[in-house]
A and B are shown apart, each in its own frame.
Chain A
């Protein structure tokens, strides 16, 4: 990884019509949670045509497996699987997740997303805060449980805002 430019990764994915959902703590931050993370997690649609578009972007940002000294590049067979591809890129660490919470893929998560506009009019799908909280509750690892109070408090603060407040 040479730099942390998650916004650039998201822009490239969106402009190349990759179907994906931002999950993990970046989804929390985008919705106002005062938490932090060192990577960008996405769940991508595993249809072959979408994986082909995703692969084009991954090649453009020099994506290789993060914990592999051979600098192996992800392939179609990896990205159509439900597994987690932990990558490092020129713009930061990127996890391409086939599914989360054991078996929830892109299509299953679509009902729990909201669209958020970033710089330059780039619109991305982001796992909603309630769904992110449910996901962290199910995962129940110490790091997930540690994040829950901040995520729940953010949801509570949003509920106290005027309905027209941009969140």
Chain B
């Protein structure tokens, strides 16, 4: 698979973007998940923020 086609997979089709700029394909992907898996997504998001925050706390300002 070329890098171009790989990148294309991440670009939503224009027909999936509604008049408010909302990616309907993303909503359908969320609806295909179980509520437990949707919750896991938030947990992963917050966990990544925590890790970034902790890394920043360890930074030495020179």
Residues of A within 8 A of B (CB): 1, 3-7, 10, 26, 29-34, 36-38, 92, 116-119, 149-150, 153-154, 157-158, 161, 165-167
Contacts and interface: CB of A to CB of B under 8 A. Distances in A.
A4 B50 contact: yes
A37 B26 CA distance: 17
A153 B20 contact: yes
Given A29-B41, A149-B20, A158 B31 contact: yes
B45 to A, nearest CB: 5
Interface string B8-52: 000000000010111110111111011110111111111101100
B23 A34 contact: yes
Contacts of A34: 22-23, 26-27, 29-30
Given A29-B41, A118-B39, A149-B22, A154 B50 contact: no
A36 B20 contact: no
Contact of A3 (B27, B35, B42, B50): B50
Nearest to B23: A34
A35 B50 CA distance: 18
A29 B27 contact: no
Contacts of B28: 157
